[in-house]
Amino acid sequence: MSERPVLVITQQIDNERTCVNHLLFPAGGESQWHRHERDYVIVPMQNCVLHIDTGEGPKAVEMNAGECYYRPVGVEHNVLNNSDEDIVLIEVEMK
């Protein structure tokens, strides 16, 4: 059984009010299980489908380029890119 490639996070901004990260989900990759310590907004850079597992099995979530979504602090999940293409998201965390 092969391991999935792991999400690459590149911090772009980190100041007293926000943290902005560039998220690269490689084709076939995953974020690995994690818990968000801050409220955050995700901005997909292209139309895509990611599979989000919150402990009840992965569920497909369609995302449209530039359409943001918000999640509160405490979210625990693993995000899977089951496609053959890399997917880029921007994550904005509120401090």
Q: Which residue ranges make up each domain of the chain? A: 8-18+29-84
In tens, the pLDDT along 73-91 reads 999 999 999 999 999 999 9
Q: What is the mean pLDDT of residues 18-26?
A: 98
Q: Is the pLDDT of residue 1 over 60?
A: no
What value, to the nearest 5°, has the Cα angle with vertex 39 and ends 70 and 49?
A: 40
CATH of 8-18+29-84, one of 3.40.50.300, 2.60.120.10, 3.30.70.2190, 3.20.20.140: 2.60.120.10
Split at pLDDT 50, 70, 90, the class of 64 is: very high
